[in-house]
């Protein structure tokens, strides 16, 4: 069975993203420091933990991306300060949100060359989740948009979504490989459909993308050190699928 179609995640697979969120989270921790008691063993949670739990709580209503992150930071500031946070601090947080949305797109090392190599051999589809407007603007700025045969900006990356995307494009799951930095979003739901997946970890993983351990499960996907190793990893998948 020949592989015909490669799905690529965007954030932290093609371009940097999570590092900017991590820096912004550090700024929030610093901003809220005067209002937050130092967490002790069983004592109050840290600002970071509070932010993650507020993001988790907001996910079903607000979805992924910078705008929901910004609202969750504001909610964290209000909650952590017991409602005492001044409007000037809220304004500062909103400024960080704007900075995140305005940040220039920086491709990861090896992305441009790898995408160029693959674009002649396979149908390439970019499958990303987050704010529609922000994702569209990152794709437009990336300089690699023309190499993709399709772009799918989705609200959630679960088996239902992948099945819908593949069905709409008439791609047999056995001929599809998804590539991404998140085991939870880019690997496991795709394997569930009988498709293939390649994991390319990024230097930081967002808390809400952490997944339950896959130990005990036979590793049925490759993990690469860099996207530059993708063309040969795809050859291996094809050799295995053909045998
Ligand atoms: Mg990603």
Residue 55, pLDDT score: 96
| Cβ partners under 8 Å of residue 76, min gap 6 | 28, 32, 47, 50, 51, 54
Residue 217, pLDDT score: 58
Query: What is this structure's pTM?
Result: 0.90
- CA–centroid distance, 113 to ligand 1, in Å, is 19
- CA–centroid distance, 94 to ligand 1, in Å, is 24
Residue pLDDT, tens place only, 33-68: 998 866 655 556 789 999 999 999 999 999 999 999
Going 217 to 222 to 226 to 227, the CA torsion angle's sign is negative
Residue 214, pLDDT score: 60
- CA–centroid distance, 130 to ligand 1, in Å, is 10
Residues of the chain with pLDDT under 70: 37-44, 212-219, 243
- CA–centroid distance, 243 to ligand 1, in Å, is 31
- CA–centroid distance, 92 to ligand 1, in Å, is 27
Residue 57, pLDDT score: 96
Residue 112, pLDDT score: 97
* CA distances, 221 to each of 6, 108, 139 (Å): 14, 21, 27
| Cβ partners under 8 Å of residue 68, min gap 6 | 55, 58, 59, 62, 131
For 223, the enclosing helix (H) or strand (E) is: strand 222-223
- CA–centroid distance, 180 to ligand 1, in Å, is 6
């Amino acid at each position: 069975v020949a592989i015909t179609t490669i799905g690529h995640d965007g954030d932290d697979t093609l371009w940097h993203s999570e590092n900017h969120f991590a820096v912004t989270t550090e700024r929030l921790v610093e901003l809220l420091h005067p209002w937050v008691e130092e967490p002790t063993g069983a004592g109050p949670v840290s600002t970071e933990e509070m932010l993650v739990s507020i993001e988790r709580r907001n996910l079903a209503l607000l979805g992924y991306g910078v705008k929901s992150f910004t609202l969750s930071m504001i909610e964290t500031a209000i909650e952590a300060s017991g409602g005492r946070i001044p409007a000037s601090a809220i304004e500062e947080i909103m400024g960080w949100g704007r900075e995140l949305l305005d940040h220039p797109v920086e491709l990861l090392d090896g992305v441009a060359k790898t995408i160029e190599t693959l674009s002649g051999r396979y149908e390439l589809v970019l499958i990303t989740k987050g704010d529609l407007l922000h994702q569209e603007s990152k794709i437009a700025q990336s300089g690699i948009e023309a190499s993709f045969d399709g772009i799918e900006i989705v609200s959630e990356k679960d088996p239902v979504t992948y099945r819908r995307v593949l069905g709409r494009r008439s791609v047999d799951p056995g001929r599809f490989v998804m590539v991404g930095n998140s085991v939870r979003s880019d690997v496991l739901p795709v394997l569930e459909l009988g498709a293939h997946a390649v994991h390319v970890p990024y230097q930081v993983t967002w808390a809400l993308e952490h997944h339950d351990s896959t130990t005990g499960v036979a590793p049925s996907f490759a993990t690469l050190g860099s996207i530059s190793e993708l063309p040969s990893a795809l050859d291996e998948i094809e050799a295995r699928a053909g045998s």
